[in-house]
Amino acid sequence: MNKPKIAVDLILNKIAESTEKVKVRAQKASEVLLSSLETDLAVTPHEIVYQEDRVSLKYYKPEKVKHKFPLLLVYALINRETMLDLQPGRSVVETFLKNGIEVYMVDWGYPTRKDQFVTIDDHVNGYMDNIVDFIRKKHDIPHVNLMGICMGGAFSVMYSALHPEKIKNLVTTVTPTNFDTDTGLLHIWMKNTQAFMMGESYGNMPGDLMNLGFLLLNPARLIIDKYVGFFENIDNKDFVENFVRMEKWIFDSPDIPAATFKQFIEDCYQKNLLIQSKMELGGKRVDLKNITMPLLNFYGKFDHLVPPEACELLTKHVGSKDTEDICLNTGHIGIYVSSKCQELFAPKVAAWLKERESDEKKAKPDPAKKKVLGKKKANINKTSGLVKNTLSKSSSNKKISAKTVK
């Protein structure tokens, strides 16, 4: 029996319809791309209140202060802190301000060749400690709230272990502390990276090279699918503006000081010293048992850079009796920019901090607060949706119902 033939005119009609749709879409796309696009990042008003070398401190003041202690945000050295203030309506900083929290955010700047010998110790016991003391002195308070993101979260863990008396509450987000995992290519690659050769070859670890490596972790999704999606939505102005903002952030990649990169790879990824409390900074052991302040630990279920296995052990190794783990149905960046983050992540942090504010009176400046800022300087001249909420150690914690972050 012969198969029925498809009429030629039917095929031609389909081609004509498709061609017309493409023409209409192309016209709309040209209008969008030639229009005035709003693609600026980090537009929330702030002022620079502290500067040391390449590092500066941004201060964001809410209309009405409702929290006793300000919150210091420490981002990673990789990419920029502008991710936390991506755009109005999708800004972690904006949500904190709406909740009455005074926000300080570290801007690590752009390292140059003179910074190649700056170590983790210089970042943690130098820049971070000076910034914390600046905030304590400005507000006449004994301690501050600290929130760290990714590598900045690891720095915050180190700082809290070395200076526990200066931290009121600690929040860590997508923070690697246990590097003994083969989940994800990044951990496998880093375990076999000869970090010292990077410094010898480049001076600092190039941010563009790091970016290329991240893209190659999942090239089908991060290179092909992403741009296919862009062209499929090129006639949607809101989509295009959001896409361009993300591209600006992704490719704004400062270099990493060579000495810091080398130490982080060798001590953390290859020796896994941090979670074992065997890491040393400035001649002192980073003992996680010294972290006795309340700890809130966020991570992403689908994070291909810092998988849950790299984050979830932290609360089991600290000395605090008030800890909480929250795993979100999202990836590495979705925690901060997804449509659900304003409903789940930042409001949860604000409420958690508020619950832990005590009625303590203002403390008088202690001797540590009177030290000269900058005393510990970075030595640059050296030659060498809630899917899981584990029970807190505190019996007062409640379980959180499962939600999904898209």
DSSP state of 372: P
Q: Which residues are catalytic?
A: 150
Pair type for strands 167-173 and 295-300: parallel
| Sequence-distant (≥ 6) Cβ neighbours of residue 372 within 8 angstroms | none
Rounded to whole angstroms, the Cα distance separating 106 from 74 reads 5
Q: Do residues 127 and 282 touch, judged by C-beta distance below 8 A?
A: no
Pair type for strands 71-74 and 103-107: parallel
Q: DSSP of 196-238, one letter per residue?
A: HHHHHHHSSB-HHHHHHHHHHHSHIIIIIIHHHHHHHTTT-HH
Q: Which residue has the tokens 């209309």?
A: 63
For 26, other C-beta atoms within 10 Å of its C-beta total 12
Q: Do residues 225 and 182 touch, judged by C-beta distance below 8 A?
A: no
Q: Which residue has the tokens 């607060």?
A: 369
Instruction: With CA atoms as reference, report the closest residue to 218 among 182, 186, 181, 265.
Output: 186
SS3 label, residue 54: coil
What six digits make up the tokens of 152? Answer: 């900045």
Q: Do residues 359 and 369 touch, judged by C-beta distance below 8 A?
A: no
Instruction: With CA atoms as reference, report the closest residue to 68 among 362, 380, 371, 398.
Output: 362
Q: Which residue type is seen at 142?
A: P
Instruction: With CA atoms as reference, report the closest residue to 46 among 90, 89, 81.
Output: 81
Name the strand (E) or helix (H) holding 73: strand 71-74
Rg (CA), the chain: 24
Rounded to whole angstroms, the Cα distance separating 325 from 297 reads 5
Q: Which residue has the tokens 């502008």?
A: 82
